[in-house]
Every structure is written in structure tokens, then in C-alpha cells.
Structure 1
Amino acid sequence: MRIIIKILAVAAALWVATQLVAGITVSAASTTEKVGTLLAVALLFGVVNTVLKPVIKLFGCAFYVLTLGLFALVVNAGLLLLTSWIAAQAHLSFHVEGFWAAFWGAIIVGVVSWLLDLIFGD
């Protein structure tokens, strides 16, 4: 049940990012397809974060320390870009246009996910 709530929270956060960041789009035709795309991308984003983020933290530890953790913003933007690329390969209508859209989108997804986690808890 916890995983489903987390996927729904990330899907909602991705939707907020599509509304606030001009370079992040979901180009599905109907509302049902948009919701399905956001849920699939949320699941995909969770898998990418679960698999790659620990590896990146391990190898990029010096950058995290050197930048006092701000390197995490760049890593999150890169993971969002990677998720967009994988979504395109899976023929999902989710697209992130460039680094800066991914950067601001990752910040929005992080903040909204955190707020929803506060509301719904672990």
C-alpha cells in the first residue's frame, strides 16, 4: 500500500511540474491517457532513483561534500532527464526539454513529493 501511495504522490508531483515548468510536457490526447502516462512515468522515475541514485552517491561523494549537497540538484535533474529518455523509448508521451527544465522540474517534484509525504506520512 505504501508503494502505491508513493507512486501516486510522485505522479501528482510530476503533474505539478508539467503545469509550472514550460519544458516538461505530457502530450497524451485524453485525460485518462495523461493520468496513465504520469503513473507510468512516476513508477519509472522511482525505479531509476532506486537503482541509480545510490551508485551516483557512492561515486560522487566528493562532489556532494564539496558542494555541501547542492550536487544533488544536478543529479536529480540528470535522473529526470534519463527518465524522460526512457519514457520516450517506451513510447510514453512524457518529455523534458533540456537541463534547466529538468533542474527546475526536479526541484518541484522533490518539494511536492516531500509535502505529500508530510500529509500522508510513511
Structure 2
Amino acid sequence: MLGSLWRFAVRTAAGAVALWVVISLIDGISLSFPATPLYQDGQHDQLLTFLAVAAIIVVLNATVKPVLKLLGLPLTIITLGLFSLVINAVIMLLAEYVSNIMGFGLHIETFGAAFIGAIVLALVNWILGPITGLLGANKD
């Protein structure tokens, strides 16, 4: 149980770094921070907001994405795997929806921005993969 929580924390931290890269590089994706402090005087609100949105993305990847991949399997086969990029963009849009409900303002202007953002997010997570794999391994 503790190992699963540790892996979730490591994936969330890596996801927050990846989200920061996406927001820095893609013009149509932004993150607004709450007006009232989340914790004490609010000096860590940016970090907490990045971590919260990254946690939302990690949870959606673990729960909703397998269902979407199963439903989209015929299209994924026909397009030789390219439809999985569309599924990643849909996950980004769902993360925007959930984060706005929860008060963490992830804003994505267009589907194209979500598509490119999902590609950049996947690339950064792929680059961070060996590090997160080492940190998350053997913690059971």
C-alpha cells in the first residue's frame, strides 16, 4: 500500500514538472492560481496548484484512459496507433474540466493546443521515466 502511494507521489511530481514544461512551451495552455491562499500565506500556491493538476492527470490516466483505449482500439489499429494521441488530448481536456470544478484553473483554448500539449507532456514524462522508475521501484 505504501509503495503504491509512493509511486503515485513520484508520478505526480514528475507530472507537475511535465505540466510546467507544457505551460511554458504551448501558448494555448495556461494555469491560473487561486485568489485566496491554499496554504498559510500562499507562497507555495503555484507549486500546490501544479501538483494538484498533475495528480488529476495521473488519476485520469489510471482510470479513464484504459477505458478510452479499449473503446478506441479499432481506430487505434486502423490509424496504426496515432489515435492514441487523440486519446491523450482528450485526457488533457478532461483534466481541464475536472481541475476547473475543483478550483485549480487549468485552461486549454483549443483541441489543437490540447493535442500538442499531450504530445509534449508524454515526451517530458518519457524523458523523466528512468528517474521516476528508479524512485518508484522497490518501495513495497
Query: What TM-score do the two structures reach when normalised by structure 1?
Result: 0.92
Q: Alpha-carbon deviation of 1:98?
A: 1.4
The unaligned stretches of length 5 or more in structure 1 are: none
Equivalent residue, structure 2, for 1:2: 7
The unaligned stretches of length 5 or more in structure 2 are: 1-5, 36-41, 135-140
Quick one: which amino acid aligns to residue 56 of structure 2? L
1:39-70 CA distances to partner (integer Å, 9 max, x unpaired)? 00111111111111111111111101000100
1:111 to 2:123 alignment: yes
Structure with greater helix percent: 1
1:13 to 2:18 alignment: yes
Query: What TM-score do the two structures reach when normalised by structure 2?
Result: 0.81
Q: Alpha-carbon deviation of 1:7?
A: 0.7
After the TM superposition, list the runs of 4 or more consecutive aligned residues in structure 1 that deviate by more than 6 angstroms: none
Q: CA RMSD in A?
A: 1.5
Matched residue pairs, number? 122
Aligned identity (percent) is 41
Q: Alpha-carbon deviation of 1:3?
A: 1.9
Q: Alpha-carbon deviation of 1:93?
A: 2.0
Q: Alpha-carbon deviation of 1:117?
A: 1.0
Larger-Rg structure: 2
Counterparts of 1:80 and 1:31, CA distance in 2? 27
Equivalent residue, structure 2, for 1:26: 31
